[in-house]
Homo-oligomer: A and B are copies of this chain.
Amino acid sequence: MIKNDSKAVVLLSGGIDSATTLAIAQNRGFDIYALSFSYGQRHAVELKAAGRIAKKSNVIRHLILDIDLRKIGGSALTADINVPKNRSAKELKKNIPVTYVPARNTIFLSYALAWAEVIGANDIFIGVNVLDYSGYPDCRPEYIEAYEKMANLATKAGVEGKQKMKINTPLIKMSKTQIIRKGIELGVDYRLTHSCYDPYDSGEACGECDSCLLRLKGFTDAGLKDPVKYKK
């Protein structure tokens, strides 16, 4: 499906999923408006990764919004709670972990919706997936569908019939390995990405948090070596 001369807002965290999502949107012919958030996350180093990816991808614009989720708290990523380490694959699947950030995707998508309305885009891309994910509720298809329905009732452009919002989730049923293979096919440079929830001051990944473990397993299963640096 090639859709030329069209704008898309792409949520870009700087990790593997969002970098691949951006490449997929671009491959479909969209002009990319990349949106990132400085939200008090521990891993602010991921914002630098988002900047590198946006630059390398020649996006039309890369907007970084400052939103302080720390004031709301409730997550190991934004409050003073330890990031869990070295959990088994079984543990990863069992419970929604403390790295869950309350309503994060809902907040991110709401800004994407606002920006899409202002620039006249009909498409938002978000790199959620349900297979190799950490059990976050706001990554599920039923959530995305409900969001899209709401979004089409929320805006002036929608009500006036000038806009039909689509929340695109090209990775939703892909495994981390499939995502990485797709990205390699599209020329994504994974050296530019960052996934670790709890990186060292040097920027090196811990190799032990859920995000590192999923990422490492994805590369291993794809028969590839992860190009980013790990502390151990």
Contact = CB atoms under 8 A, between A and B. Distances in A.
A100 interface: yes
Interface stretch (A52-60, A83-91, A145-153, A189-197): A145-153
Contacts of A72: 63, 65, 111, 114-115, 118
Contact of A100 (B74, B100, B156): B156
B143 A146 contact: no
A71 B63 contact: yes
Contact of A155 (B102, B118, B147): B102
A201 interface: no
A117 to B, nearest CB: 4
A153 B128 CA distance: 15
Contact of A110 (B107, B118, B142): B107
Contacts of A136: 156
Given A65-B71, A72-B111, A154 B118 contact: no
Contacts of A224: none
The winner among A104, A107, A143, A154 for most chain B CB atoms within 10 A is A154
A96 B160 contact: yes
**Number of copies of this kind of chain in the complex:** 2
Contacts of A155: 102-103, 137-138
Nearest to A111: B107
Given A65-B71, A72-B118, A111-B72, A106 B137 contact: no
A185 interface: no
A140 B137 CA distance: 26
A12 to B, nearest CB: 15
Contact of A150 (B65, B66, B101, B150): B150
Contacts of A146: 146, 149-150, 153
Interface string A102-128: 111111001101110110000000000
Given A101-B114, A106-B154, 8 more contacts: A72-B115, A72-B118, A74-B114, A74-B118, A96-B159, A96-B160, A100-B156, A137-B153
Closest 4 CB pairs of A and B: A74-B118, A103-B114, A146-B150, A102-B114
